[in-house]
Amino acid sequence: MRLSSQVYNRPIADAALIACPQCDLLQRLPELAPGASARCPRCDKELWRRREDSLNRTLALTLGAALLYVVANSVPMLGLTIVGRAASTTVIGGAEHLWQDGQQLVAMLVLLTAVIAPALQIGFMLAIVLGAHRERPPRWVGTLLRHHPATRTWSMIEVMMLGVLVALVKIADYATVIPGMALFVLWVLVFLLAGMQASFDSREVWERIQWAQGGARRDSARDRMAAGTS
Ligand SMILES: [Zn+2]
């Protein structure tokens, strides 16, 4: 009787245990040197790669991405000249035009996937890396780390860029298209964001968080549980 209430919903004491995401084999991760990776013995899937100097590299790439993001949203993305009339627009301006044209749903999707989600993705990553740099990472680093994958899923600048390219080719027959500064900045941003994700090692940050606070919290929870059942 005592077992069932105590065993369920308790975190596994061994944080090195990992289930292979491909074949579900449960195994223990070894200590890895920077740059080395661990593979599943059954299906050869890479389970974890310890990135070299992950926190500093990610911080540098994230700062670069933040700078480019600000530039990309403050300078024109596209200009058009039709029979002597010229007009140019930014990313947010484009969404605004869509809204006014009665395409509210598309306007909201553009705003979410090309403006809001990338801002959250960069902002969360910056906060996580800066928080993890501290000697005792604060608790909110874990909360942000848990929600960061969602911002990554919705951040789709590259999809918007492909759409813009297709549109450019189609309207080139009817109007003179002037590619704006933001178009080039956004292409660089796409690669910076990919680099930022590739250099980031979430396991390393989790380890730092657990080291700073996880042990103490787990002990106190265990004490509470023991006091409640005795
Ligand atoms: Zn496997």
Q: For 167-181, write each residue's pLDDT tens digit.
A: 888 888 888 888 889
14 Cα–ligand 1 center, Å: 19
20 Cα–ligand 1 center, Å: 5
Q: For 33-70, write each residue's pLDDT tens digit.
A: 888 899 999 999 999 888 889 999 999 999 999 999 99
Q: What is residue 150's predicted lDDT score, i.e. its pLDDT? A: 94
Note whether 42 and 23 are within 8 A (CB).
yes
Phi-psi sector, 35: left (phi>0), alpha (psi -120 to 50), beta = left
Q: Of 133, 158, 145, 160, whose CA–CA distance to 203 is shortest?
A: 145
47 Cα–ligand 1 center, Å: 8
Q: What is residue 32's predicted lDDT score, i.e. its pLDDT? A: 86
Note whether 63 and 197 are within 8 A (CB).
no
Note whether 87 and 171 are within 8 A (CB).
no
Q: For 64-121, write each residue's pLDDT tens digit.
A: 999 999 999 999 988 888 878 888 888 999 899 999 999 999 999 999 999 999 999 9
DSSP code at position 113: I
Q: Dihedral, CA atoms, 142, 129, 147, 113, nearest 10 degrees? A: 170
Q: For 176-225, write each residue's pLDDT tens digit.
A: 888 889 999 999 999 999 999 999 998 889 888 877 765 555 555 455 55
> What's the pTM value of the predicted model, to 2 decimals?
0.80
Q: What is residue 4's predicted lDDT score, i.e. its pLDDT? A: 56
39 Cα–ligand 1 center, Å: 8
153 Cα–ligand 1 center, Å: 24
12 Cα–ligand 1 center, Å: 20
Q: Residues with beta carbon < 5 A to ion ligand 1?
A: 20, 22-23, 25, 40, 42-43, 45
Q: What is residue 209's predicted lDDT score, i.e. its pLDDT? A: 85
- Whole-angstrom Cα distance, residue 196 to residue 122? 9
143 Cα–ligand 1 center, Å: 28
**Alpha carbon distances (Å) from 116 to 75, 143, 150, 203, 213:** 17, 19, 12, 26, 31
Q: What is residue 230's predicted lDDT score, i.e. its pLDDT? A: 40
DSSP code at position 213: I
For the purposes of burial, counting CB atoms within 10 Å of the CB of 197, is it exposed (0-12), middle (13-18) or buried (19 or more)? middle
